[in-house]
Structure 1
Amino acid sequence: MATFEELRKEQMLFDALLNVAGVQFPAHKLVLCSCSTYFKALFTNWSSPDRQDFDISDVSADIMEIILDYCYTQVVHITPENIQALFIAADFLGVSGITQACCQVMKEQLSPSNCIAVWGLTNQYHYPELKKQVFSYILKHFEDVVSSSEEFLHLSREDLCSIIDEDQLNVKEESTVFEAVLRWVSHAPQERITHLANLLTKVRLALVPLDYFFQQVQGNNLLQNNRECMVVVIRIISVMLDARVRESNVSLSSRLARPRLPQALLLSIGGWSGANPVNNIEVYDNHANRWVAVANNDRTPRAYHGTVFLNGCVYLIGGFDGVVRFNTTHKYDLANHTWQEVAPMHSPRCYVSVALLDGLIYAMGGHNGDVRLETVERYSPETNQWTMISPMNEQRSDANSTAYDGKIYICGGFNGEQVLDTAECYNPLTDQWTMISNMTNRRSGVSVIAYANEIYAVGGFSGMARLNTMEAYNPRTNTWRPLPDLLYGRSNFSIGVVDERLYVVGGFNGSTTINRVECFDVKTGVWSEVQNMEISRSALSCSVAYDLPNMADYAAPRPALPDDDPTVE
């Protein structure tokens, strides 16, 4: 190719002259045939061998120059200004190297403001992988797309229906979808008002709060003046008042009340149930308020372990099966449903605390079968190695930890003699642990998590009783403050934040393992009960998994809905 480029610069041995929008481009047929299916067919099948002049339509001279440069150099210069025209011309000429490069750039530069336009291209040109990725992007960023994309208002009815009908549509409130539909209709009301009733059947309006429904939906003038829309509204009211929707699986098979798939799931793994450790995995779908049992090929029961979610995998670290204290690390790939054992830790760690910071996994303290540990080690998935780092200031087992603002915080625990109220933080830049202010309560079997820009220490065992108290640490002021009490005292439970709400799961209440689950909304300061796990267990570990390509595999089953769904008749 370097030789051909040299001949091109010296204007030698040309055997084709391309006439493009009034500009002539001399070229070599062999070079163009090697890059373009169009030119190969033109030169070998659609013209005589001695023909040299060719008129090329539907391509601008500027774009043809870029394409010819690519044919000779295998380098293409893509800019925001030329990418669409270049993609269309390269598709027309069959220059797959350029179309692939354009697809890659479009994927990398997707934004709420341009994704609808890119999706429109994929509706005209057959690039299924790009089309799938762009559609997934629209679903995931729907709220931002609606607020920032002018192209949203120009979607066809069919395209809008395909978006809002998806279980994977990511919205915090179904009212967002309803208001997006109204905005789309209002952009061209005379043409689009006839589509409104059909669009309403794609919105899960039976899930909106009652006051919103009666004020904003039933009271909307566009709907009130449309008989077909009011028929849908009456049907929605019937579904909302149907107790079965709240108490059974009816909501999952009813389009009007069917919750969207969650964007994040709470995975509960292992633990101690009754008198024995278990290997059960249950997943909480907060949109459906259901726990789903997951088949587990890892047959080893374990409790007092740690879990971390990273790059689509859950890492299961240390723990105890009733006999053996583990130093093992297992990785569960959620996309492929497969377990893999990776590098072991340097020490067995039961009652271990784990945290994730900057793509590295930290395992802190615990019990090795002989003593409580102050040692800490760090795992790199890239090198598959655990490395010892600076030890903590105190021995801690049954503590808990979290990462926040570039540091790791660990609180409470048991040092072999007493339950601790102390806490400390680790700075990876200096490899140093620093004591911070003590908690107001001694807490072993505590849960710790970063939430609402603070470090929350929740529940635990004081040495006397299981606690239902909660306190928050402010790293800026180095102070703790009390927060509303849990509904139930518990220790050795697990914790996670999903959709800005804090969930506490299972634990031990002083007499038995429990399956109770409750959640805290920092905006209201209120704890509320949610669906219990299927089995009671303490010493379990929870991780929040997100951005899974197969989220439906783990969420509450949503059966396929027929086109003649009775909820929309």
Structure 2
Amino acid sequence: MSLHTTENIEKTTLIRKYSPLTCDVLSELRNSGEYCDVILRTDDQHLFKVHRAILCSCSSFFRALFTNGMNETTDQIVDIHDINGDIMNLIIDYVYTREIKFNDNNIYEILSAANQLQVLELFSLCENYLYEKLNPENILGIREFASFFYCKKLCEQTEIYLLTNFTEISIKSQEFLELNLEQIIDILNSDELNIKSEEAVFDAVIRWIDYKVDERKKNIVDLLKCVRLGLLTTNFFIEKVKCHPYIINNETCKPLVIDTLKYLYELDVDTYQDLFVQNPIARPRIPHEIIFVCGGWSGGSPTSVIELYDTRADKWFQLPFNDRFPRAYHGIVTINNFIYVIGGFDGMEYFNSCRIFDLKILQWNEIAPMNVKRCYVSVTVLDGLIYAMGGFDGHSRQSTAERYSPNSNQWLPIPPMHAQRSDASATVLQNRIYICGGFNGQECMNSAEYFDPKTNQWTMIAPMRNRRSGIGVIAFHNSIYAIGGFNGSTRMNSGERYNPKTNTWLSMPDMYNPRSNFAIENKLKFFLHRREN
């Protein structure tokens, strides 16, 4: 399992629990043998004089070993099995100095030994090192290794990397070709597989079969069921799939081929819209292929309609899963394939109610209401928690803010902002929540502030150069960008950038068109304008 690194050895230092001087003294005591009270012996007969107390301070394994009342509590020589002397020496050096050198040849043995000895800080360092070395050629091997040793963080990281970079991995990785049938089906069935088109999945299936064609071609129907055939273009399906040698004369594939042809025909004549996401052969992969629009102001009144944009068909579809009540001027965020709709206004009533839409089962549910009614609310997500700030309750603009935990289904107040504001916009940068601009009931605002969950405090920052209500705010490359908005007399096409290090705003080039009350996305850098009369 190669890491394909450009440097063979890297020195990794963890934040020290001991001062450098303390580490130097402890290391000197170990090297001289002073006050050592036990000798560790590995299977290859390497001996290490150490201090029980030092080992206990960073390893629950040694803490249990030396305090269990058994022979190891008093024995002068204690045997350590299944770890060779060279690796044991590196781990003991780390315990005393908090430094260690990783390379391609020792990282897996060090992680295994750190796991066995329960040196958790070193175990975490190993996970970080392997994550930094991930590439399309080694991802699947590291993923399997992480699973074997129950490396929870590394398992999650490799899964995200695999799903995000699947197309490149399926083309470049020899390890991909070595996967067994169960493993490849598990990957291809994921709703979160990030692909530009379903053609990449079909091509990956064929590459995997071609690698051991005599052994694997019998599995074509099982693998074809993993391909969302209804998301392929009609031309690709007819020219590449239906006529493929593995499929054309395979009787077990015929029902799939017929169902797909029927679906693609109905889609092409535009009579299949309402059932689009319900057909299993055309179930969109989430979240890379579809855009949801929920509620809003339409035709002079709020709406409950949900529309979906299918990038493959280049069409909008109105879904039969509308929310129970119309809602506009609400906040909306996503967490783990759930869409959260926060607060809003139905033309008569201001809401503190909140709704959740499950993208997997396409179902709406009510969640706990906020403590305060809020429309024109600013919302964002940090560390899996939803923050709702400011807004209008029908009487006054709010300075209050609150935080929602999906795990407990509970909203709890956080300290109020320094200013009342609705029509503001919020974003997250460096584990802080920034909120900028807005309207306080009398004037459009240029003030901005941030909330730090660690200190549970709001802090004012330098004001923007322009007043902006209905502003677009986003964090990108360690800066906050504030774009467009309404200054009290006109909608603007100007923007400015905030540098947290210098606490200053700098102007940026103007947009082509003035706009306010729009959506902004940092991955594609696009803007969605909301027209207002």
TM-score clears 0.5: yes
What is the CA deviation profile of residues 160-204 of structure 1, one whole-angstrom value per residue up to 9, with x for unaligned ones? Answer: 122222334333433222222222111222222222222222232
**1:270 is matched by which residue type in structure 2?**
G
Q: Residues 37-76 of structure 1: matches in 2 within 5 Å?
A: 60-66=84-90, 69=93
CA shift digits 1:27-86 (9 cap, x unpaired): 46996997768x979xx9999x99989897x76553354356568778654433201233
- Residue 119 of structure 2 aligns with which residue? 97
Residues of 2 paired with 1:7 and 1:347: CA distance? 59
CA distance in 2, matches of 1:384, 1:53: 49
Which of these residues, 356, 375, 379, is aligned with residue 450 of structure 2? Answer: 379
Cα-to-partner distance string for 1:257-309 (whole Å, 9 max, x where unaligned) = 43333266664432221222223445677899x67455233153321222233
2:350 matched residue in structure 1 = 277
Does residue 324 (structure 1) correspond to residue 396 (structure 2)? The answer is yes
> Partner residue of 1:388?
460
CA distance in 2, matches of 1:397, 1:72: 57
8 Å CA contact retained: 1:15, 1:26: yes
> How far, CA to CA, are the matches of 1:362 and 1:122 in structure 2?
36
Displacement, 1:431?
2.1
1:388, 1:16 → 2: CA distance? 57
Shift of 1:118: 2.1
Cα offsets for 1:488-542 (capped at 9, x unmatched): xx32xxxxxxxxxxxxxxxxxx5xxxxxxxxxxxxxxxxxxxxxxxxxxxxxxxx
Distance 2:257 2:482 in 1: 51
Distance change >3 Å, CA 188–CA 344, structure 1 → 2? same
Secondary structure of 1:222's counterpart equals coil
Aligned to 1:344: 416
Match of 1:446 among 517, 522, 532: 517
CA–CA distance in 1 between the matches of 2:355 and 2:526?
26
Tell me, what secondary structure is at the counterpart of 1:224? coil
Structure 1 residues 219 and 102: alpha-carbon distance in aligned structure 2, compared to 1, 3 A threshold: farther
Query: CA separation of 1:95/1:143 partners in 2, compared to 1, >3 Å: closer, same or farther?
Result: same
Q: Choose from 473, 483, 486 the match for 1:410.
A: 483
**Structure 1 residue aligned with 2:182:** 158
Q: 1:90 to 1:340 in 2, by over 3 A?
A: closer
| Whole-angstrom CA distance in 2 between matches of 1:339 and 1:311 | 15
Aligned length: 444
Q: What TM-score, normalized to structure 1?
A: 0.63
C-alpha deviation, 1:379, in angstroms: 0.8
| Pairing 1:158-197 to 2, within 5 Å after superposition | 158-197=182-221
One-letter amino acid of the counterpart of residue 331, structure 1: R
- RCO greater where, 1 or 2, for CA within 8 Å and sep 6 or more? 1
The question of whether the paired residues in 2 share the 8 Å contact of 1:268 and 1:282 is answered with yes
Contact 2:277–2:284 (Cα < 8 Å) also in 1: no
The equivalent position to 1:86 in structure 2, one of 79, 87, 110, is 110
The amino acid of 1:380's aligned partner reads: F
Change (3 A) 1:225 1:355: same
TM-score between the two structures when normalised by the length of structure 2: 0.67
Shift of 1:310: 3.2
Q: Does the residue aligned with 2:119 lie in a helix, a strand or coil? A: helix
Alignment-derived partner of residue 478 in structure 1: none
Provide the residue aligned with 2:127 in structure 1.
106
- 1:218 Cα offset (Å): 1.3
Indicate which of 11, 25, 43 corresponds to 2:46: 25
Q: For residue 286 of structure 2, what is the aligned residue in structure 1?
A: 261
Indicate how the Cα distance of structure 1 residues 173 and 396 shifts in structure 2: closer, same or farther if over 3 A, else same. Answer: same
* Cα-to-partner distance string for 1:234-278 (whole Å, 9 max, x where unaligned): 3444565678975349826x3x34333326666443222122222
Q: Quick one: which amino acid aligns to residue 283 of structure 2?
A: R
Q: Which moved more, 1:296-305 or 1:322-331?
A: 296-305
| Residue identity in the other structure for 1:96 | Q
Give 3-state SS (helix, strand or coil) of 2:380's partner. Answer: strand
Partner of 1:247: 274
SS at match of 2:352: strand
Letter in 2 for 1:275: M
Deviations 1:297-333 (A, max 9, x none): 3153321222233333332221111112201122233
CA–CA distance in 1 between the matches of 2:154 and 2:400? 40
| CA pair 291-392 structure 1, distance change in 2 beyond 3 A | farther
Q: Is the 8 A contact 1:267 1:283 kept in 2?
A: yes
Give the secondary-structure state (helix, strand or coil) at the position aligned to 1:191.
helix
Residue identity in the other structure for 1:120: E
Task: Letter of the 2:447 partner, please give it.
Answer: V
- DSSP-derived class of the 1:176 partner: helix
Equivalent residue, structure 1, for 2:3: none
- Please give the alpha-carbon distance, in whole angstroms, between the structure 2 residues aligned to 1:296 and 1:50: 59
1:411 aligned partner, one-letter code: G
One-letter amino acid matched to 1:95: L
Percent identity, please. 25
1:443-482 alignment to 2 at 5 Å? 446-447=517-518, 449=520, 456=527, 458-459=529-530
Alpha carbons 2:380, 2:426 under 8 Å: kept: yes
> How has the CA–CA distance of structure 1 residues 454 and 135 changed in structure 2, closer, same or farther, with 3 Å as cutoff?
closer
- What SS does structure 2 have at the residue aligned with 1:320? coil
For 1:315 and 1:260, the matched residues in 2 are separated by 27
> Unaligned regions of 5+ residues in structure 2, if any?
1-22, 289-333
Assess, with a 3 A threshold, how the Cα gap between structure 1 residues 372 and 396 changes in structure 2: closer, same or farther. farther
Matches within 5 A, 1:180-219: 180-219=204-243
SS at match of 1:409: strand
**Residues 455 and 391 from structure 1, CA distance in 2 versus in 1: closer, same or farther, beyond 3 angstroms?**
farther
Change (3 A) 1:367 1:232: closer
Change (3 A) 1:69 1:31: farther
Distance 1:389 1:14 in 2: 57
Work out the CA distance in 2 between the residues paired with 1:438 and 1:84. 51
Cα separation, 1, equivalents of 2:474 and 2:391: 18
Bigger mean CA offset, 377-386 vs 140-149? 140-149
| Paired residue type of 1:259 | P
Q: Provide the residue aligned with 1:521 in structure 2.
A: none
Change (3 A) 1:458 1:404: farther
CA contact (8 A) 2:378 2:422 kept: no
Are 1:221 and 2:245 an aligned pair?
yes
Q: Is the 8 A contact 2:444 2:487 kept in 1?
A: no
Residue identity in the other structure for 1:410: I
